[in-house]
Chain A
């Protein structure tokens, strides 16, 4: 009884905090993105006196937003697919081939997460300069992103490969399945959620990544985060920054919710004991 009361009280407090935590900042951002330049939003008004989508259309037509979006949204899917392909063999090996030093290998996989992002970014450019490979910023960022996000892909897929049941593989073999048929019958169903998860995680990470894109891409290769950074820094225009923030955060939130739903729906049926 008291436990329930405490819980409902704590929940009330928490919901209030969360409104401040999430709702207020985002509402502010949305409102700022709708401020019409004809009439500035002054502190004496609770809401912007005149609202329009001018900032949105203006950003779309008169800024580096289009190339930035193009860069971000071509870079991310390619990174996701290449990372998946690179991660597959290593994950298979870590999950299903026992070898001495496997635990060490699993730790080494985390290396890119331990080295600070800006250190990687700066000395990766140093290597590029050293080798004279400065023609394609896109390719350079792609390579760096793949390496940076391989740990996520390998970890996710290793769990997937671990969930493949040996008796399913054996049963498929026993029934005369070729390696491809075996992969489709025994591996793929257990692996599918991890593959989607890996693609989504890497995609989101690549869209959000700032350090590499900022250092390797500077001065002329922009992604959405680098564009936002420039709007937050030297030429700070609040409504423009609000527009960019929303462009950056909304698709990723939707993707993340999708990912969560996917992982929840896919796992129980496959990991349940028999069947």
Chain B
């Protein structure tokens, strides 16, 4: 019903290409996140989907209709703004009703719809207040409610949590997910925060320099990143160059790297002789009989684990251990399971 199809979308500002030939689909009821560092083009992409920017090239279909040149007021999309963009001179009710008034919804229906949303977002007590009198979390909920009031097929989020403090962020995150699920909305969510993306999404689109780096479920993204950029951006994997020196007995590949010889049982075949490899710092087993070792250059206690910065032959990397009594300058020995060593793109 409200499937989004984006084809070869390009946006060029003068000389700068903000989005470069991007294509993807979002299924009805699916929650997809556009994730990437600032300047990767994710917000530009969202603005094209919502209609505030007209792409230089490419097409956008929403619900089977070509909306590439449809203005935002005529699209079946509702946008939750990063700044909330609540009208400061209107009460919460006025804000929630605004879209319905534009559609000339009869007063009775309007009232019913507003109170339904107010209940859903627990804003009943706030309806008569002005936005300035609300807390950040409440303002966020009004913004969400205002978008929902239109009963849009597609809901779009532009970094909606970036103005909230950490504790509230978790709470609102669950709320967004619940509302999206309850209303079976197709959602596109823009963020630079990987933990938000992993927690909320059915699928994540990782973007870099205006192009898509990888599209995958959060689990796949974490466990089998396609490139070292994704591996590093999602969960700070250790990425380092290595050379494929042959096949191992019993499957897998033997790799030679600065930290020593490793075996990888990544189901993907190596793409070249010299490649980048990645492994998660928390998947290393720190034991005295580990085949690998390095010198600890710094340690940071993080509560549930300790972060060790380790150097072997000039290659630095991180290890995360549950508890550790090693101190700076000590040698630390560890091992890696072959299934946890990932083979990525060719190294330069």
Query: Which B278-329 residues have C-beta < 8 A from chain A?
Result: none
Given contacts A270-B88, A274-B163, contact A172 B139 (CB under 8 A): no
Residue count of chain A within 8 Å CB distance of chain B: 21
Whole-angstrom distance from the CB of B335 to the nearest CB of chain A?
51
Whole-angstrom distance from the CB of B344 to the nearest CB of chain A?
39
B81-106 vs A, CB cutoff 8 Å, 1 = contact: the mask equals: 11111111110000000110111000
The answer to whether A275 touches B139 (Cβ under 8 A) is: yes
Give the distance in Å from the alpha carbon of A176 to the alpha carbon of B86 in the complex.
Answer: 15
**Sample of 11 A–B contacts (CB below 8 Å):** A167-B83, A170-B79, A172-B87, A173-B71, A174-B50, A175-B73, A175-B98, A176-B99, A269-B88, A274-B83, A274-B84
Given contacts A170-B79, A170-B85, contact A275 B131 (CB under 8 A): yes
Whole-angstrom distance from the CB of A252 to the nearest CB of chain B?
30
The answer to whether A177 touches B102 (Cβ under 8 A) is: yes
Is A272 among interface residues, defined by CB-CB distance under 8 A?
yes
Whole-angstrom distance from the CB of A214 to the nearest CB of chain B?
44
Given contacts A170-B52, A189-B87, A275-B86, contact A175 B81 (CB under 8 A): no
The answer to whether A177 touches B73 (Cβ under 8 A) is: yes
The answer to whether B73 touches A185 (Cβ under 8 A) is: no
Query: Which A233-275 residues have C-beta < 8 A from chain B?
Result: 269-270, 272, 274-275
The answer to whether B132 touches A178 (Cβ under 8 A) is: no
Give the distance in Å from the alpha carbon of A170 to the alpha carbon of B130 in the complex.
Answer: 20
A26-46 vs B, CB cutoff 8 Å, 1 = contact: the mask equals: 000000000000000000000
A45-83 vs B, CB cutoff 8 Å, 1 = contact: the mask equals: 000000000000000000000000000000000000000
The answer to whether A175 touches B83 (Cβ under 8 A) is: no
Whole-angstrom distance from the CB of B145 to the nearest CB of chain A?
12
The answer to whether B102 touches A274 (Cβ under 8 A) is: no
The answer to whether B98 touches A174 (Cβ under 8 A) is: no
Is B342 among interface residues, defined by CB-CB distance under 8 A?
no
Using A173-B73, A177-B73 as known contacts, list a sample of 20 further A-B pairs with CB atoms less than 8 Å apart, ordered by residue number in A. Answer: A165-B83, A170-B79, A172-B87, A173-B71, A173-B72, A174-B51, A174-B72, A175-B99, A175-B146, A176-B99, A176-B103, A178-B102, A185-B87, A189-B88, A269-B132, A272-B88, A274-B83, A274-B132, A274-B136, A275-B84
The interface residues of chain B lying within 8 Å CB-to-CB of A185 are 87, 90, 98
Is B67 among interface residues, defined by CB-CB distance under 8 A?
no
The interface residues of chain B lying within 8 Å CB-to-CB of A272 are 88, 132
Query: Which B133-162 residues have C-beta < 8 A from chain A?
Result: 134, 136, 139, 146-147, 150
Chain B residues within 8 Å of A, Cβ to Cβ: 50-52, 71-74, 77-79, 81-90, 98-99, 101-103, 130-132, 134, 136, 139, 146-147, 150, 163
The interface residues of chain A lying within 8 Å CB-to-CB of B136 are 274
The answer to whether A174 touches B87 (Cβ under 8 A) is: no
Q: Do most interface residues of chain A lie in helix, strand or loop, or is the interface mixed?
A: helix
Is A14 among interface residues, defined by CB-CB distance under 8 A?
no
Give the distance in Å from the alpha carbon of A173 to the alpha carbon of B89 in the complex.
Answer: 17
The answer to whether A172 touches B132 (Cβ under 8 A) is: no
Chain A residues within 8 Å of B, Cβ to Cβ: 165, 167-168, 170-178, 181, 185-186, 189, 269-270, 272, 274-275
Whole-angstrom distance from the CB of A275 to the nearest CB of chain B?
4
Give the distance in Å from the alpha carbon of A275 to the alpha carbon of B81 in the complex.
Answer: 12
The interface residues of chain A lying within 8 Å CB-to-CB of B163 are 274
Whole-angstrom distance from the CB of B90 to the nearest CB of chain A?
8
> Which of B51, B73, B98 is most buried by chain A, counting CB atoms within 10 A of its CB?
B73
The answer to whether A171 touches B73 (Cβ under 8 A) is: no
Give the distance in Å from the alpha carbon of A181 to the alpha carbon of B86 in the complex.
Answer: 15
Give the distance in Å from the alpha carbon of A171 to the alpha carbon of B50 in the complex.
Answer: 11
The interface residues of chain B lying within 8 Å CB-to-CB of A175 are 73, 78, 98-99, 102, 146, 150
The answer to whether B132 touches A275 (Cβ under 8 A) is: yes
The interface residues of chain A lying within 8 Å CB-to-CB of B73 are 173-178
The interface residues of chain A lying within 8 Å CB-to-CB of B134 are 275
B52, B82, B85, B150: which contacts A168 (Cβ < 8 A)? B85
Whole-angstrom distance from the CB of B142 to the nearest CB of chain A?
10
Give the distance in Å from the alpha carbon of A123 to the alpha carbon of B267 in the complex.
Answer: 89
Given contacts A168-B87, A173-B72, contact A274 B81 (CB under 8 A): no
Give the distance in Å from the alpha carbon of A170 to the alpha carbon of B285 in the complex.
Answer: 52
Whole-angstrom distance from the CB of B130 to the nearest CB of chain A?
7
Give the distance in Å from the alpha carbon of A274 to the alpha carbon of B74 in the complex.
Answer: 27
Give A176's nearest chain B residue, CB to CB.
B102
The interface residues of chain A lying within 8 Å CB-to-CB of B150 are 175-176
Given contacts A181-B102, A185-B87, A275-B88, contact A171 B139 (CB under 8 A): no
The interface residues of chain A lying within 8 Å CB-to-CB of B83 are 165, 167, 274
Give the distance in Å from the alpha carbon of A80 to the alpha carbon of B21 in the complex.
Answer: 53
The answer to whether B88 touches A174 (Cβ under 8 A) is: no
Whole-angstrom distance from the CB of A58 to the nearest CB of chain B?
50
Give the distance in Å from the alpha carbon of A83 to the alpha carbon of B150 in the complex.
Answer: 40
The interface residues of chain A lying within 8 Å CB-to-CB of B82 are 167
The interface residues of chain B lying within 8 Å CB-to-CB of A165 are 83, 85
Whole-angstrom distance from the CB of B101 to the nearest CB of chain A?
8
Give the distance in Å from the alpha carbon of A170 to the alpha carbon of B72 in the complex.
Answer: 8
Whole-angstrom distance from the CB of A100 to the nearest CB of chain B?
13
The interface residues of chain A lying within 8 Å CB-to-CB of B131 are 274-275
The interface residues of chain A lying within 8 Å CB-to-CB of B81 are 167, 170-171
Whole-angstrom distance from the CB of A108 to the nearest CB of chain B?
27
B72, B78, B87, B103: which contacts A186 (Cβ < 8 A)? B87
Give the distance in Å from the alpha carbon of A165 to the alpha carbon of B88 in the complex.
Answer: 11
> Which of A173, A181, A269, A270 is most buried by chain B, counting CB atoms within 10 A of its CB?
A173
Task: Name the 4 nearest CB pairs between A and B, nearest first.
Answer: A175-B99, A167-B85, A171-B85, A275-B131
